[in-house]
Chain A
Amino acid sequence: MSTGLDAFVAAGPPPLPAVLRTLLAVARRPRGRMLLERLPRVQAPVHAALSLGRYDDPAVGRALGWDADVVAARGRALRRAEGRP
C-alpha cells in the first residue's frame, strides 16, 4: 500500500481501518476480486480506495497531465513571494 493510501485508511473511524485493510488484501488476490464482484456494496469502497491509491502515484498522475508536486511547489512559491499566510 502507498504511504498516502495507508494514511488514508488508517485515518478512518474504527473499526473501518481494520475492515478496509482486510478487504484490500482480499481484493489484491484474483479469487478475492472475483468474490468481491459478487458483493457490489462491499466492492465499491474497496475499489474506490484502491483507485485513490493507484492514481495518486506521481508517475501515473504525470502521464495524465497532473503533477501534484508542481502544484504544491507553485503554492509554496506564491505564498513566499506574496507573503500569504
Chain B
Amino acid sequence: MSAPATPTLDADVCVIGAGAGGAVVAAELAEGGARVVVLEQGPAHDPGTFTARPPEMLARLYRDGGQTTTIGTPPILLPLGRGAGGTTLVNSGTCFRTPPAVLDRWRTDFGLELDEARLAPLFDRVERALSVAEVTPELAGANAAVARRGAERLGWSHGYLRRNARGCVGSGVCVFGCPTSAKQHTGITYLPRAVAAGAHVVTGADVRRIDVRGGRTRTVHARLQDGGRLEVRAPTVVVCAGTIHTPLLLARNGLGTASGQLGRNLALHPATAAFARMDEVVDMARGVPQSFYVDEFAAQGVMFEGVAGPPGYAAMSLPVTGEAHREAMADYRRLAQFGLMVSDVSRGRVRSLAGRPVIQYALAEADVAKFRFGLARLDELLRAAGAREVLLPLPPGVRPERARARDLKLMAFHPLGTARAAARPTEGVVDGDLAVHGVDGVFVADGSVVPSALGVNPQLTIMALATRLAFRLLDGRIDARPPAPPTEEETACRS
C-alpha cells in the first residue's frame, strides 16, 4: 500500500514564522497581490483564555516556559515568545526607531545603505499599523511616577515610552498575555491582515527542510502538530523563525553557511532590575509596566526602562531570600521596580545540539563595567525618588562597583545578529536586501539580520526591515497582481 500523498500548497512566497518579521512581511506581500503561505511553529493563542497568572501564562505563551538560558558567565535567562505574534505577543510593547548613530555604524561596518530618511516612511507605516503612541502619565501608573521623580530630582533625561497599544487600561501583565488585546502585537494586527488578503496561515507547522536545487528554492517541508506533513512549493522563502532558531534552520539546510558567520555575533541587550521599598503605595502592577525611560546614559550603552508585574512575578525576581524576601513581599504594595539594559559589545553564538539551540554567551569586561556603572546609577535614581531601601540584584555584600560578571543576575529580551546583514558575503549571512548570500530565493526577516546591538527595543527595527523586504520582493521578484494602485505611502516605502 502506498503512503498517502503529502498535502501540498503552492505559493509565490513561503514565510516561516509569524512574529515581528514574518507577520509583517506576509501581510505586506499578500496585500500587494502575492500568494503567501505562512508556516508558524506555535499555536494561535486565544486571548479569551489569558488568565493574568504568571506561571500558567509563561508555560503557555513562551518557548520552553520562558526558561531558555544561555551558557556562559553569567547564565542569562532569555525568554522567547511562541505562537502567532512571536515575541511581540509577550513583550512590553515598547517602540523605538533605530537610533541614527546605529545606522551610521551599519553603513561603515557592514556596508548597509540604511539611513534615517530612507527608513522614515517604513517606520511611519509600521507605527500606523500598530497604533504606536506615547503612554500617558495616568496610564503609566505609580511605578513610573517613582522613576520620574528620581530622574527629575537628578536632572536626568527621561520620558514616557511609545508603545503599540490601543485602548490599554493598564492591566499590568503585558508579558503574560494582554487580557484586553490592547497590545497591538503582530498576531492581532498584521497576521489578520495577511489572512484577509488571502494568505494561508498554518499554525503548529514545524519546518524541517527547505529544498534548494540548482541554487534556487523549490519546496518547504513541514511537520504538523497532528503528525502529518505539509509541503509548500514556492520559489521564494522568507525565514523569520527568530534570532535563536533561524540560524539552526538555515544551518540544517546548508544555507547561509559560507561566510562562517551563521549563528555567531549574537547580541542580547542583557538586562537586570532593582527594587525599591517606598513609603507610598505603588501597586506596581497597576498601569503599564514598561511606560517610562531614563536615557541620560544611553550614549554610554546604559538605558533604564520601567519593569513591573504582579506578586508572583515580583516574588520570583526579588534579589533577596528568606526573611528579607518575606518582609519585602509583605510590603509588595509599596515596592517599585526599574530596569537597566545594556547595549552590549559581547557576542555569543547559537549552535544546535540534537535539534535544540545551545546558546553560548559570555559577558565581556566592557559590558560588566556598564552594569557596574548602571547599577550604581539605578541605586542613585531610586534613592533620589525617596526609596527607603534599594534592593540591587547582587549577592549580599557586593556593591555595584565591585560586581563581577558572575555576581550579576541577568535576563535578556532582544536577541539579535545571528544571521547578520552585511553587503560583503564574507561578513554576513544576508545582504543589504536580506537575501541569503549565494542562494537565489531565500531571505531572512527577523532579529537575526540586525547586525549589532541597538541600545533600544528592536521590534520596530525588525518590522521596518520586514516591510522594506516585502516591497522589494513585490517590485522585483514576484509576479504579483496588485489589487489597487500603490498609495503615496507605499510608493515612499518602495524608494
**A residues touching B (Cβ–Cβ < 8 Å)?**
2-5, 7-13, 16, 40, 43-44, 47-49, 51-56, 60-61, 64-66, 68-69, 71-72, 74-76, 78-79, 82, 84-85
Residue B299 interfacial (CB < 8 Å) = no
Contact among A12, A53, A65, A84 with B65 in the assembled complex (CB-CB below 8 Å): A12
Q: List 9 A-B contacts (CB under 8 A).
A: A8-B65, A11-B67, A13-B356, A47-B321, A51-B316, A56-B312, A66-B283, A71-B172, A78-B169
Residue contact A72 to B64, C-beta cutoff 8 Å: no
- 8 closest residue pairs by CB, A with B: A75-B179, A11-B65, A4-B55, A51-B315, A7-B59, A8-B55, A55-B315, A11-B59
| Binding stretch for chain A, among B46-54, B111-119, B221-229, B424-432 | B46-54
Contact of A75 among B65, B180, B311, B314 (CB under 8 A): B180
Measured between beta carbons, the chain A residues less than 8 angstroms from B171 are 71, 74-75
Q: Which of A10, A72, A82 contacts B59 (CB 8 A)?
A: A10
Q: Which residues of the partner chain A approach B395 to less than 8 Å between Cβ atoms?
A: 40
Query: Is A55 within 8 A of B329, CB to CB?
Result: yes
When A43-B321, A55-B329 are in contact, do A79 and B180 touch as well, CB less than 8 Å?
yes
Find out whether the CB atom of A56 lies under 8 angstroms from the CB atom of B55. yes
Does B252 reach chain A (CB closer than 8 Å)? no
**Secondary structure dominating the interface of A:** helix
Query: B333 within 8 Å of A by Cβ?
Result: yes
Whether the Cβ atoms of A12 and B188 lie closer than 8 Å is no
Asked whether, in the complex, the Cβ of B52 is within 8 Å of the Cβ of A68, the reply is yes
Contact B55 A2 (CB under 8 A): yes
- Report the separation of the CA atoms of residues A40 and B310 in the bound assembly, to the nearest whole angstrom: 25
Q: Are A74 and B169 in contact (CB under 8 A)?
A: yes
Residues of B within 8 A of A84 (CB): 167, 180-182
Residue B133, interface by CB 8 Å: no
B239 to chain A, nearest CB (A): 22
B62 at the interface (CB under 8 A from A): yes
Residues of chain B at the chain A interface (Cβ within 8 Å): 47-48, 50-56, 58-60, 62, 64-68, 167, 169, 171-173, 178-182, 188, 192, 283, 285, 310-318, 321, 325, 329, 332-333, 356, 395, 409
B179 near A8 with CB under 8 A, answer no
B59 contacts which chain A residues (CB < 8 A)?
Answer: 4, 7-8, 10-11
A13 to chain B, nearest CB (A): 4
* A7-B55, A53-B55, A74-B179 known; A61 vs B310 contact (CB < 8 Å): yes
| Contact, CB under 8 Å: A71 / B55 | no
Besides A66-B311, A75-B52, 20 new A-B residue pairs in contact (Cβ under 8 A), listed by A number = A4-B56, A7-B59, A9-B65, A11-B58, A11-B66, A12-B64, A16-B64, A43-B321, A51-B325, A55-B311, A55-B312, A55-B315, A61-B312, A65-B333, A66-B332, A72-B179, A74-B180, A79-B47, A79-B180, A85-B181
Complex Cα–Cα for A65 and B285 (A): 9
Are B55 and A52 closer than 8 Å at their CB atoms?
yes
B48–chain A nearest beta-carbon distance, Å: 6
A43 and chain B: residue at smallest CB distance: B321
A71 touches B56 (CB 8 A): no
| Given known contacts A12-B65, A64-B333, A72-B50, A78 and B55 CB-to-CB distance under 8 angstroms | no
Interface contact B52-A72, CB-CB below 8 Å: yes
**A77 and chain B: residue at smallest CB distance:** B180
Are B54's CB and A52's CB within 8 A? yes
A79–B48 touching, CB < 8 Å: yes
Q: Taking the nearest CB of chain B, how far is it from the CB of A39, in angstroms? A: 12
**B188: A residues at CB distance < 8 A:** 85
State in angstroms the CA–CA spacing of A48 and B317 once bound together.
7
Given the contacts A65-B283, A71-B179, A52 and B316 also touching, CB distance less than 8 Å: yes
* Chain A residues positioned under 8 Å from B310 (CB to CB): 55, 61, 66, 68
Which residues of A have CB within 8 Å of B312? 51-53, 55-56, 61
What residues on A are CB-neighbors of B68 within 8 Å? 13
Q: How far, in whole Å, are A71 and B309 apart by their CA atoms in the complex?
A: 13
Q: A8-B65, A11-B64, A72-B50 are in contact. Are A51 and B318 (CB under 8 A)?
A: yes
- Min CB distance A58 to B, Å, is 8
- Asked whether A48 and B52 contact (CB < 8 A) given A66-B285, A75-B178, A84-B167, the answer is no
Instruction: List the A residue with the shortest CB-CB distance to B329.
Output: A55
Bound Cα distance from A16 to B68, whole angstroms: 10
CB-nearest residue of chain A relative to B406?
A41
Question: In the complex, are the beta carbons of B56 and A8 less than 8 A apart?
Answer: yes
Shortest C-beta distance, B112 to chain A (Å), equals 34
Contacting residue for B67 out of A4, A13, A43, A65, CB 8 A: A13
A15 to B26, CA, bound (A): 36
Residues of B within 8 A of A65 (CB): 283, 332-333
Contact A75 B315, beta carbon cutoff 8 Å: no
Q: Flag if B58 contacts A8 (CB, 8 Å).
A: yes
Complex-state Cα separation, A68 to B172, whole angstroms: 10
B398 CB to closest chain A CB (Å) equals 12
In the complex, what residues of B have CB within 8 A of residue A76's CB?
48, 179
Known: A13-B64, A51-B315. A5 touches B55 (CB 8 A): yes
CB distance from B109 to the nearest CB of A (A): 34
